[in-house]
Amino acid sequence: MADDLGNAAPVDVGGQFGWYHPPFGAGARVGVVLCSAFGAEMLCAHAGWRQLAIRLAAAGLPTLRFDYAGTGDSPGDDREPDRLGVWSRGIDSAIESLRHSAGVERVVVIGLRLGATLAATVAARRDDIAGFAALAPVISGRVHARELAVLARLNRLRPDNAPPDADEIGGISVNGFFVSDETQAAIKVLDLRRIARPAVEILLLERENAADADLAAAWRDHGAQVQAAVFEGYDTFMDSPTTTVLPEASWACLTAWCRSLAGDETVAESCRPGFAAAQAAGAGWHEVPLFFGREKRLFGIVSAPETKNANDDLAVIILNAGRNHHIGWGRGAVEMARALAAKGSTVLRLDAAGIGDSPPWPDGPEEVLYSPEQKADVVAAMDALAGRGFRRFHLVGACGGAYLALHAAIDDPRVAGFSLINLLKFHWREGDSLAVAMAEQVYRPTSSYLQRLKDPETYRRILKGEVALAGIAGALLRRIVHKLMAVPMKLLARANGALSPQAEAAGWFRALAVLGVVMQMILSAEDPALAELSLYFGPEGRDLPPEAKVRVEIIPHADHNHSQRDARTQTLALIEEALAELRGGSKGV
């Protein structure tokens, strides 16, 4: 598979999913293992982490990045016991895999956030570590666990008297990722300052204003050569998966430091046994990577049932939400794909070009989200699955992925059904602002704010400065303007002999209904997508053309990303109903 700058390959890393980035030309005798962050921090860092691996490989350093057990594309689940022990052993496995399969003698270990803390504990007990780099490390596990608990409380949508979400039983949900009580307790015990010395050569990239000076001093006291610098660009790098900015200066510093540890000796090709190909399996399902599209540049993961029904011609394609890579927010795409595969469906989790592990097209648009070119990637995915015997497809997309699913269905008759999750835009016009669209995701439906005005707690929070009044006011004003403009826009379109946006969208659904397409719109009760639906088709879609038979479902206590376990469970059940309907009749082509 041709990467941006080399030939990366998905590989097995002691039962974990990984990517090996071979060196360009003769490889050094020192390799690099990247130990990622966890949860939403891992999602935010994914694109930059991949680019770091490419840069290190370009510098002649064999590089391995991987997903810990129960995270990313690896088998397992966060609910399983001894997570920190399993993750630490996974880091050991990654180091051993790189040494054996790439033929390197020593390894530089680079860790990000909690990944740095765990990697330090592993590196400290090994004698084959050429260097250790800690990037914005978690120093105190107790402080980190407290921060996770605060985030879980801040993001909670349910009233205090409501039954708990499934992820609030036996643990907490932090931005959609479950952290069990056991894992929280194990994190609290961690303290990076208690590790005498992870390596002789250490690079510490600190966040601005972080209290890491005593950490560097402690390691120096134990004989380590510690270079400490500011992690330039950390905040924009970790802002969100969609807005992340590559920390160019920090990556250049890190690459130069690793290169300085490698020396000039190289490993002969004959001394590189190579990695086993990546694959995963669980109860009733198995997974393999898939490269497809022009020049095989697009990447995805196919989840398939253990035994495929030879007569089944229907497959599911899960599209990216924003720039979340193919695991989905809260790892929801992985969970959905494996659950559907265990019940008999073949599912492709797709990275469109320029997202996740699919590099951008050399001739593609600068901004891929909401671009017409993305539809070609969906066509390529359907073509690839057609080669496996599938003729009909059900598309699942959230946010920007919902927009893509809708418009791919309009263009391609092979789309037999779709599930649009929190569709924020029916139309995307040239010149529309992605920044405004993203900002809108933050704010709740107008009715939700009006309801909260009846609650005295709202005024207490306003007085304490806990409510972003300016942002909310701006969002509500934009919605009022859109609502007021809807009628004159309809009249203007009619005067010019054209369809209004609302009439055009209604026409799409009527045409798709004629083809027998099964259509679902799934919306969170706390999401601004309800405002868009109301603008086009009235509250909760009551004015949708009845002949189109669009099924509208509102999920209570759910946010835009479906961070809540119960929301994901309900959505999965709705999608299973759509698939059952498609398999029960002669829908599609």
DSSP structure string for 467-502:
S-HHHHHHHHHHHHHHHHHHHHHHHHHHHTT---HH
Give the separation between CA 521 and CA 445, rounded to whole angstroms. Answer: 16
Q: What integer pLDDT is reported at residue 239 of this predicted model?
A: 92
Q: Report the share of the chain in percent with pLDDT over 70.
A: 86
> Which CA distances in Å does 88 have to 95, 111, 121, 122, 412?
11, 12, 8, 6, 47
Give the separation between CA 60 and CA 5, rounded to whole angstroms. Answer: 12
Q: Which of 242, 271, 300 is the last residue of a domain?
A: 271
With contact defined as beta carbons under 8 Å apart, do 19 and 357 qualify? yes
Q: Does one domain contain both 301 and 404?
A: yes
Would you say residue 307 lies in a domain?
Answer: yes
Comparing 1 with 295, which gets the higher pLDDT?
Answer: 295
Over residues 127-142, the mean pLDDT reads: 97
Would you say residue 256 lies in a domain?
Answer: yes
Q: What integer pLDDT is reported at residue 477 of this predicted model?
A: 57
Owning domain of residue 567: 280-584
Give the separation between CA 99 and CA 104, rounded to whole angstroms. Answer: 5
103: phi > 0 → left, psi -120 to 50 → alpha, else beta; which? left
* Pick from 291, 234, 302: nearest CA to 73: 302
Would you say residue 187 lies in a domain?
Answer: no
Q: What integer pLDDT is reported at residue 391 of this predicted model?
A: 97
State the pLDDT confidence band at 189, using cuts at 50, 70 and 90: very high
Q: Does one domain contain both 417 and 301?
A: yes
Q: Which of 271, 294, 311 is the last residue of a domain?
A: 271
Does 445 have pLDDT greater than 90?
Answer: no
Give the separation between CA 189 and CA 257, rounded to whole angstroms. Answer: 31
DSSP state of 419: E
Torsion of CA 523, 528, 534, 539, to 10 degrees: 60
Give the separation between CA 442 and CA 437, rounded to whole angstroms. Answer: 10
Q: Does one domain contain both 431 and 473?
A: yes
Does 306 have pLDDT greater than 50?
Answer: yes
At 4 the three-state DSSP class reads coil
pLDDT, tens digit (0-9, with 9 covering 90-100), for 318-331: 999 999 999 999 99
Q: Does one domain contain both 247 and 303?
A: no
Does 244 have pLDDT greater than 90?
Answer: yes
Q: Does one domain contain both 264 and 284?
A: no
Q: Which helix (H) or strand (E) holds 438?
A: helix 434-442
Q: Does one domain contain both 264 and 289?
A: no
Q: Which helix (H) or strand (E) holds 112?
A: strand 106-112
With contact defined as beta carbons under 8 Å apart, do 86 and 56 qualify? no
> Which CA distances in Å does 404 have to 296, 410, 432?
21, 10, 16
At 259 the three-state DSSP class reads helix
Q: CATH number of the domain that 562 lies in?
A: 3.40.50.1820
Q: Does one domain contain both 541 and 521?
A: yes
**What is the rounded average pLDDT for all residues in the chain?**
89
* Pick from 197, 45, 220: nearest CA to 135: 45
Does 397 have pLDDT greater than 70?
Answer: yes
pLDDT, tens digit (0-9, with 9 covering 90-100), for 32-66: 999 999 999 999 999 999 999 999 999 999 999 99
At 34 the three-state DSSP class reads strand
Torsion of CA 377, 382, 388, 390, to 10 degrees: 170
Would you say residue 202 lies in a domain?
Answer: yes
Would you say residue 506 lies in a domain?
Answer: yes
State the pLDDT confidence band at 498, using cuts at 50, 70 and 90: low
Q: Does one domain contain both 14 and 43?
A: yes
State the pLDDT confidence band at 430, using cuts at 50, 70 and 90: confident
**Structurally, how many domains does the chain consist of?**
2
Does 3 have pLDDT greater than 60?
Answer: no
Comparing 505 with 272, which gets the higher pLDDT?
Answer: 505
Query: Which runs of consecutive H residues, i.e. helices, occur in 271-421?
Result: 332-342, 374-386, 400-411
Does 381 have pLDDT greater than 60?
Answer: yes
pTM comes to: 0.90
* Pick from 239, 277, 178: nearest CA to 568: 178
State the pLDDT confidence band at 425, using cuts at 50, 70 and 90: very high
182: amino acid identity, one letter: E
State the pLDDT confidence band at 8, using cuts at 50, 70 and 90: very high
pLDDT, tens digit (0-9, with 9 covering 90-100), for 524-567: 998 999 999 999 999 999 999 999 999 999 999 999 999 999 99
Does 517 have pLDDT greater than 80?
Answer: yes
Q: Does one domain contain both 88 and 65?
A: yes
Q: What integer pLDDT is reported at residue 241 of this predicted model?
A: 94
Does 441 have pLDDT greater than 70?
Answer: no
Q: Which of 251, 271, 291 is the last residue of a domain?
A: 271
Would you say residue 249 lies in a domain?
Answer: yes
Comparing 588 with 163, which gets the higher pLDDT?
Answer: 163
CA end-to-end span of the chain = 33
Does 577 have pLDDT greater than 80?
Answer: yes
Q: Does one domain contain both 83 and 23?
A: yes
Q: Does one domain contain both 202 and 237?
A: yes
Residues β-bridged to residue 301: 289, 349
Q: What integer pLDDT is reported at residue 434 of this predicted model?
A: 73
Of the candidate ranges 330-344, 374-388, 480-494, the one whose mean pLDDT is the lowest: 480-494
Does 518 have pLDDT greater than 80?
Answer: yes
Does 243 have pLDDT greater than 80?
Answer: yes
Give the separation between CA 550 and CA 496, rounded to whole angstroms. Answer: 29
List of residues 6+ apart from 50 with CB closer than 8 A: 19, 65, 357
Q: Does one domain contain both 211 and 293?
A: no
Does 253 have pLDDT greater than 80?
Answer: yes
Would you say residue 2 lies in a domain?
Answer: no
pLDDT, tens digit (0-9, with 9 covering 90-100), for 205-235: 999 876 666 899 999 999 999 999 999 999 9
Would you say residue 380 lies in a domain?
Answer: yes
